[in-house]
Structure 1
Amino acid sequence: MAMENLAFLIPLLPALAFVLTFFLGKKLPSGGAIIPIIAIAISCVISLSITAGLLANPGHVVTQSVHWFAILNLGILIDPLAAVMLSMVSFVSLLIHIYAVGYMSHDPAKPRYFAETALFTAAMLGLILSDNILQLFVCWELVGLSSYLLIGFWFHKPGAASAAKKAFLTTRIGDVMFLAGIVLLFADIFAILEGKLPEGVYLLQFEEIFKFIPDLVAINSTILGMEVSHLTLVTLLFFGGAVGKSGQFPLHVWLPDAMEGPTTVSALIHAATMVTAGVYLVARTFPMFLAAPGTLMVVAMLGAFTALFAATMGIVMNDLKRVLAFSTISQLGYMVLGLGLGAVIGAEAVGVSMFHLINHAFFKALLFLCAGSVIHAVGTHDMRQLGGVGKVMPITFATMTAAALALAGFGIPGTSIGFSGFLSKDPIIEGAYVFATQTGNWIPYLFAISAAFLTSLYIFRLIFMTFTGKPRSDYGGHESPSSMTIPLATLGVFAVIFGALTRGKFMTFIESNFEHLDMNALAELGGYHLGPHGHEPLLILWMPLIVAVAGLVIAYLIYNKRVIDMSRIVSSENPVYKLLYNRYYQHQIFVEIFSVKIIYEGLALASFYSDKMLDWLVNGTSTFLIEAGDSLRKFQTGVIQDYAAAVVAGVGLLVILVKLIMEVF
C-alpha cells in the first residue's frame, strides 16, 4: 500500500497514543512513554515518505476527503507546504519525546505528561493536514487547549497555573478574530453565490476559497470613512489569529511566562509546533494575503517591530529559558516579516519564511533542550549562579554553541557555507532591503538588522555567562544521560548542515505550491508590484554577518573578559535597563491598568450603577402600586348605596360624553 493512503494515520496515531497513555501509562515503564514515541515515530516515517515522493514529483499532491455535514468536509491536503511542516513537526517532536524520558524520569506525573504531549502533537499534525479552514480552526483550538494543559502541567505551582491561564486567555483574543474572519469569509462567498450552492463543492476548502479571491476583493465596506475590501478585512482577522498563536506584538505577552512548564514543553511549544501555527496559517492562505490591499504591509511592519522589540528584552534577562523565549518571539517576527515581503517578491516570500521556520525549529529546539540539560544537571536556570558549566557538560556546551552560532547567523555571504540560521535569516534581511528600495519604507530593514545585532549579543551573553569562566555557586553538575545527549547531538547536526544541504531545493519546492495560481495577477489585485531582485550591494550581503560578529565580540569582552564593570549599567537607577528588565511594563499596562483598572473595575462600576438603577425601578414601581392600591381601597366602603351612586354617576358621565362626540362629528 502506498504511504499516501496512510496519511490519515499521521495525526490519528498520536491521538490514539494520548488515549492509551492516559489510561495505561501508570502500569508501564517511564509513564508509558514508549506508546507516544512509537506512534510519533510511525507518523514521522509516513510523513518523510510522502515528502520524498513529493520531492520527486511536486505536482502529485495527496488529497483525501469525506463528507462531514451540510457543505462541509473532513479532508487531508499534503502539498509541498504541508509536507515540510509534517516532516519537521513529527521529527522534532519525536526527539523531544525521547529526550523527555530522561528529563522527566523523576516526575510522578509522567503518564499525564506523555498523554498531553501526544495530544498536542496530534492536534498540530491535524492542523497541518487540514484541507479546509474550518477543520484547521478546530485543530487550532485543540492545540491551544493542549498547550494550556502542558504550560500548567505543574499546576500546584501558582506561577504555572497563572501562566497557563494567561496563555489561554491571550491567545483566545486572536482565536476570536480568526473565527470572525472565517464567518465573514463564508458569508461573503455565500452572498457571491446568491445562496445557490454547487453540488459536491465544499466552500471552505482552500482551493475553493482561492477561486473567489477576485470577487472578495471587489466587495467593499466603509469603515471610519474609508473604503476597505472585504478580503483585506478577512486576511487581517486571520492575521489576528496568527498574532496570538505566533506571539507577535501585542499578543506576545503569554509566551515568556509559558516557561513555567517543563523545559521539554518549552521546546515543543516554542520550537516546532504551537508558535509556528500562526506563520503556517498565513503561508497556507498566502494567495489571499497577496491579493488583499494593504495587508502585507501590516504583516511586514508588525513582524519587523516584533523581531526588534523582543530582542531588546532578551539582552537583559537572567533566566536561561526566558532569554530563549524572547529569542523565539524575535525569530517569529523574522518569519512574519518574511511573509510580509511578499508585497515585493511574491510567492518567494513563503519559501523564505518557511525555510527559516524549519531551520529555527532545529536550532531553537536544541537551545531549549540544552537549557533543560543544564537545569536537569545543576538544578538552577539563573545564569548569575552558573559559570564554568562547559567543563562538566562538554556535550551540552558543544551542541548549545552550535545552536547559538545558527541563531546568530554565522556563515560566508554569497555562498552556501554557514550554519542553518545564517542561510535562512539572511535572505529575510536582504528581502527587507529589497522591500525598502521598492516601497521607500526602510523601517523593516532597519529593525531587522538591529535585531540581528541584538540576537548575537543576547545568545552569546547566555553562552559566556553559563558555560565559561569560574562557577559562581556550588552547583555541582554532571553531563546528562545518553537519552538526553543523543537528541542534542542529532539536532546539533541539523543546526549545522540542514540549511546548506537544502537551501536551493527547499525554496523551489515550496514555491511549487502556488504554480497553479497566477501570483502576478493576485498581486495586481492587492496593488503590489513584484519585481526582480538578487543583485543587492556587497555591503548589504555582508551586513548581517558584520553585526553578528559585533554582537559576539561585545558579549565576549563584557561577559568573558569583564572589560566593563556591568554593575554600573545593570542597576535599578539606570532607566533604560529598568525599562527593559521590566519588559516595558507590559504586565502593568495590560494586566494592572487595562484588565484590572479599566475592564474589571469599569464593569464593576457599571454593575454597581445598573444595580442601583434596577433597585430604583423595582422599588419605585412597587411603591407606586402599593400606594395606588391603598388609595383605591378607600373606595371599597361596602355600602350598597355608595356603589349605586357611583354607577349612576358613571353612566351619566358616559351619556354626556357620547352626546358631545355626536355633536362634534
Structure 2
Amino acid sequence: MAMENLAFLIPLLPALAFVLTFFLGKKLPSGGAIIPIVAIAISCIISLAITMGLLQNPEHVVTQSVHWFAILNLGILIDPLAAVMLSMVTFVSLLIHIYAVGYMAHDPAKPRYFAETALFTAAMLGLILSDNILQLFICWELVGLSSYLLIGFWFHKPGAAAAAKKAFLTTRIGDVMFLAGIVLLFSDIFTVYNGVLPEGVYVLQFSEMFHLIPELVAINSTILGMEVSHLTLVTLLFFGGAVGKSGQFPLHVWLPDAMEGPTTVSALIHAATMVTAGVYLVARTFPMFLAAPDSLIIVAIVGAFTALFAATMGIVMNDLKRVLAYSTVSQLGYMVLGLGLGAVVGAEAVGISMFHLINHAFFKALLFLCAGSVIHAVGTHDMRQLGGVGKVMPITFATMTAAALALAGFGIPGTSLGFSGFLSKDPIIESAYLYATETGSWMPYLFAITAAFLTSLYIFRLIFMTFTGEARTDYGGHESPSSMTVPLAILAVLAVIFGALTRTSFYHFIEETFVHMDIEALAELGGYHLAHHGHEPLLVLWMPLIVAVAGLVIAYLIYNRRVVDMSSIVSRNNPVYKLLYNRYYQHQIFVEFFSVKIIYEGLALAGYYSDKMLDWLVNGTSYVLIEAGDSLRKFQTGVIQHYAAAVVAGVGLLVVLIKLVMEVF
C-alpha cells in the first residue's frame, strides 16, 4: 500500500534529477551521473513493487486523481498494461545510464547529457502513468522535445543538428494529427452529453472515454460520399500520432537519422522510450480501436508493410547503428501489426504486441549498447573497416550474438524453448496467419514472414562482417570497461530467458487490463468477427524458424565463407541494390522534391506573385486617385459664376428626378 502512495514519485524523481544535474552536474564526478542513476533506480524499485502487487491481484489498479481546471484533471493510472511498461522503461533506462558513465567518460558535456536523459526518462514515465489523454499528450510532446535535444546533443556537427530538426519536424506531423483527434473526441463527448456534463466527470479520462464508446460510434459524418464513424476518425488520428512517434511508414524517415546522437541515446530512443510511445498509445486506447470500424485493418496493413519495407533497407546498410535503426523500424512494424490483428484475436492482440515490445526493449538495447561498445573501442561504425572484432572483444561479441539470435527469432516451435524474440515474434506471425484464414487477406502474413527472413539475413550479416574473419583495418580494439560490459551481460541474460520465464503469465496479466470490458460487444460495434487459434499446420508453426535459419546460412556463406562474389551485386550498376542503398530515394522525395521544390519553392513563388499583385493594387489605387484628383481639380476654377451655374444645374436636375419618381409611384 505504501508503494502505491509513492507512485507519483516514479516520474517526479527523474524530473528532479534533471534539474539538479543541469545545475550541479559540473561540480560532481562523471558529470553528476549519480543523480539520475539513483533517481531512476528508486523509480525502478517503486515500479517493480507495484507490478509485483498487481501480479498478486491484477484488479487492484492504482488510481490517483486531482482536479486541474474546469473539466480536466491530473491523474495516475497503473494497471497491468502501464505496470509492465513502467518496469521495462525504468529498468532499461537505469542500465543505459550506468553504461553511459563509461561511454561518455571523455565527453566534456556530460552534465548536459545526463540532465537531458533524465528529462527524457521522466517524460516517458509521465506518459505511461497518465490517466487521461490530454495529460498523455503533454508528456508526449515533452518526449519529442527531449529527443530533439538528445539527437542533436553534438549540435556542433551539421549532421546531428539536421537530424534533430528532421526528427522534431517529422514527428510534429503525427502530433498535429494526435491533437486533432483529441479535439474531435472532446467535441463528440460534449455532443453526447448535450453540452452539460454530469458532476464529477473528467471529460478526457480513459475510463470516461471507454464508457462512451457506444455513443461515440453512433456519431457519423459524410466524407467523400461515405458515412464514416467519428470514432474511426478519432482512432485513425490517434494512430497518426503513433505513426510519427513509432516510426511507421511514411513518417519513419527520422529514425535512421537519429543515429547522429550518442549511441546510448540511440539505445534509449530505440529500446525503452520514444518509439514505444506510439505502440503504447494504441494499446492504451485499444477498446476504442476495436469498436471503430476499419481502424484495426488499417493499423495491421501499415504495420506489416513497415516491417517488410524497413527490413529491405537493413540488408544493404554498412553503418552498424543504421542497420540497427532499420531493424527498430521493422520490429515496430511487427508490434503495430500485432495490435492490428485485434480485428481477429481481440484483446489478445495487446498481449502479443506488448510482449514483443518488452522483449524487443531488452535485445535492442543490448544490440545498440554492443554497437556502442565496438565504436567506443575501435573508433568507427563502418562494418567494411572492421572484421575480427570478436577476437579482441569477446564479451561484446558473445552478448551481441545472443541479441542477434533473439532478434532473428531462434527457438523450438510449439515449446517455450527459445530466445525472447522467438517467443514474442512468432505469436504475431501465427496470428497473422489466423487473420489471413479468417479474412482472406494474406498480405500481412506474407509481409511478416518475408520480413522475418530479411531480419535474420541483415543481423547475421552484421555479426559476420564485424566480429568474424580477419581485421580489414588497423583499428587496435580492446574490450570495454566493466561499467559497460556488466549492463551488456544483464541484458544478454534477459534476451535469452525473459520470454521463456514470462510467456504464459504475461499474456494473462496484460489481458486483465480489459477484464471489465465486453470485448465481444466492442468488436461487434467495429464490425469485426473474433476467432480463436486452432491447430495451425505444422509448416506454419515452423516457417518462422525455417526462414530464420535460411537467413543465417545465407549470411554465413556470403559474409564468412565468401562463397559468392558480392562485387557484382554490390554495385551502382545494380538497380535493385542502388534503390535499396539510396533508401528508395526517400530523402530526395520527401526533402528535395516535396519539402524544397513543392513547399519551399511553391511558397516562395506564391510570395513573389502576391507581392507583385500587392504592388499592382497599391500602385493602381494611387494612380486612379491621383488621376481622379487631377480631373476634379479642373472644376475648381475660382470663378464664382461657374459655381453658381453648377448649383442651378444641380438643383434643376434634382427637381426633374423628384418629378419623375412621383409620377411613377
TM-score by length of 1: 0.99
CA distance in 2, matches of 1:645, 1:224: 68
Percent identical among aligned pairs is 89
Structure 2 residue 553 is matched with structure 1 residue 553: yes
Aligned to 1:291: 291
Aligned to 2:13: 13
1:384 counterpart letter in structure 2 = R
Aligned to 2:60: 60
CA distance in 2, matches of 1:639, 1:27: 92
Aligned to 1:98: 98
CA distance in 1, matches of 2:364, 2:144: 20
Deviations 1:591-649 (A, max 9, x none): 11111111111121222222222111111111100110111111112222222222222
**Once structures 1 and 2 are overlaid, which stretch shifts more, 534-543 or 643-652?**
643-652
**Once structures 1 and 2 are overlaid, which stretch shifts more, 641-650 or 520-529?**
641-650
Structure 2 residue 249 is matched with structure 1 residue 238: no
1:494 counterpart letter in structure 2 = L
Aligned to 1:642: 642
Aligned to 2:366: 366
**Which secondary structure does the structure 2 equivalent of 1:533 belong to?**
coil
Runs of 4+ with >6 A deviation: none
Aligned to 2:144: 144
CA distance in 2, matches of 1:645, 1:544: 105
**Which secondary structure does the structure 1 equivalent of 2:145 belong to?**
helix
Structure 2 residue 188 is matched with structure 1 residue 185: no
CA distance in 1, matches of 2:664, 2:348: 87
Aligned to 1:135: 135
Aligned to 1:317: 317
CA distance in 2, matches of 1:511, 1:434: 19
CA distance in 2, matches of 1:663, 1:41: 99
Deviations 1:199-243 (A, max 9, x none): 111010001000111111111111111111111111100000000
CA distance in 1, matches of 2:660, 2:304: 84
CA distance in 2, matches of 1:33, 1:137: 29
2:13 counterpart letter in structure 1 = L
Query: How much has 1:96 moved relative to structure 2?
Result: 0.3
**Which secondary structure does the structure 2 equivalent of 1:398 belong to?**
helix
1:445-460 alignment, distance < 5 Å = 445-460=445-460
Query: How much has 1:534 moved relative to structure 2?
Result: 3.9
CA distance in 1, matches of 2:199, 2:475: 69
Aligned to 2:199: 199
**Which secondary structure does the structure 2 equivalent of 1:360 belong to?**
helix
2:84 counterpart letter in structure 1 = V
Query: How much has 1:94 moved relative to structure 2?
Result: 0.4
CA distance in 2, matches of 1:640, 1:469: 112
Aligned to 1:604: 604
Aligned to 2:74: 74
CA distance in 2, matches of 1:664, 1:570: 94
CA distance in 2, matches of 1:610, 1:457: 54
CA distance in 2, matches of 1:464, 1:14: 39
CA distance in 2, matches of 1:308, 1:80: 31
1:97-116 alignment, distance < 5 Å = 97-116=97-116
Aligned to 1:488: 488
Query: How much has 1:661 moved relative to structure 2?
Result: 1.8
Query: How much has 1:337 moved relative to structure 2?
Result: 0.4
2:155 counterpart letter in structure 1 = F
Deviations 1:298-322 (A, max 9, x none): 0111100100000000000000000
**Which secondary structure does the structure 2 equivalent of 1:544 belong to?**
helix
CA distance in 2, matches of 1:272, 1:110: 21
**Which secondary structure does the structure 2 equivalent of 1:68 belong to?**
strand
Query: How much has 1:161 moved relative to structure 2?
Result: 0.3
CA distance in 1, matches of 2:474, 2:277: 41
Deviations 1:78-98 (A, max 9, x none): 000000000000000000000
**Which secondary structure does the structure 2 equivalent of 1:614 belong to?**
helix
CA distance in 2, matches of 1:532, 1:663: 91
Q: Which runs of 5+ in 1 are unaligned?
A: none
CA distance in 2, matches of 1:657, 1:509: 92
2:362 counterpart letter in structure 1 = F
Structure 2 residue 396 is matched with structure 1 residue 378: no
Aligned to 1:474: 474
1:211-222 alignment, distance < 5 Å = 211-222=211-222
Query: How much has 1:111 moved relative to structure 2?
Result: 0.5
Deviations 1:527-573 (A, max 9, x none): 11111214111111110000000000000000000000011100000
Question: Cα RMSD (Å) of the superposition?
Answer: 0.7
**Which secondary structure does the structure 1 equivalent of 2:76 belong to?**
strand
Aligned to 2:335: 335
Aligned to 1:223: 223
CA distance in 1, matches of 2:57, 2:192: 36
1:660 counterpart letter in structure 2 = L
**Which secondary structure does the structure 2 equivalent of 1:76 belong to?**
strand
**Which secondary structure does the structure 2 equivalent of 1:478 belong to?**
coil
Query: How much has 1:579 moved relative to structure 2?
Result: 0.4
1:274 counterpart letter in structure 2 = M
1:456-535 alignment, distance < 5 Å = 456-535=456-535
2:44 counterpart letter in structure 1 = C
Deviations 1:453-492 (A, max 9, x none): 0000000000000000000000001000010000000101
CA distance in 2, matches of 1:293, 1:535: 29
Aligned to 1:661: 661
Deviations 1:345-372 (A, max 9, x none): 0000000000000000000000000000
CA distance in 2, matches of 1:599, 1:503: 49
1:519 counterpart letter in structure 2 = I
CA distance in 2, matches of 1:352, 1:10: 26
CA distance in 2, matches of 1:253, 1:51: 35
**Which secondary structure does the structure 2 equivalent of 1:417 belong to?**
coil
1:9-48 alignment, distance < 5 Å = 9-48=9-48
CA distance in 2, matches of 1:131, 1:167: 27
1:603 counterpart letter in structure 2 = L
2:197 counterpart letter in structure 1 = L
**Which secondary structure does the structure 1 equivalent of 2:63 belong to?**
strand
CA distance in 1, matches of 2:243, 2:394: 38
**Which secondary structure does the structure 2 equivalent of 1:63 belong to?**
strand
1:407 counterpart letter in structure 2 = L
TM-score by length of 2: 0.99
**Which secondary structure does the structure 2 equivalent of 1:200 belong to?**
coil
Deviations 1:479-525 (A, max 9, x none): 00010000000101100000000000000000010000000000001
CA distance in 2, matches of 1:4, 1:293: 37
1:562 counterpart letter in structure 2 = R
**Which secondary structure does the structure 2 equivalent of 1:475 belong to?**
coil
CA distance in 2, matches of 1:424, 1:79: 21
Aligned to 1:392: 392
2:62 counterpart letter in structure 1 = V
**Which secondary structure does the structure 2 equivalent of 1:480 belong to?**
coil
**Once structures 1 and 2 are overlaid, which stretch shifts more, 602-611 or 272-281?**
602-611
1:172 counterpart letter in structure 2 = R
Aligned to 2:2: 2
CA distance in 1, matches of 2:324, 2:536: 31
Deviations 1:36-87 (A, max 9, x none): 0010000000000000000000000000000001100000000000000000
CA distance in 2, matches of 1:656, 1:599: 62
**Which secondary structure does the structure 1 equivalent of 2:65 belong to?**
strand
CA distance in 1, matches of 2:76, 2:109: 34
CA distance in 1, matches of 2:639, 2:8: 90
**Which secondary structure does the structure 1 equivalent of 2:510 belong to?**
helix
CA distance in 2, matches of 1:112, 1:508: 42
CA distance in 2, matches of 1:534, 1:106: 57
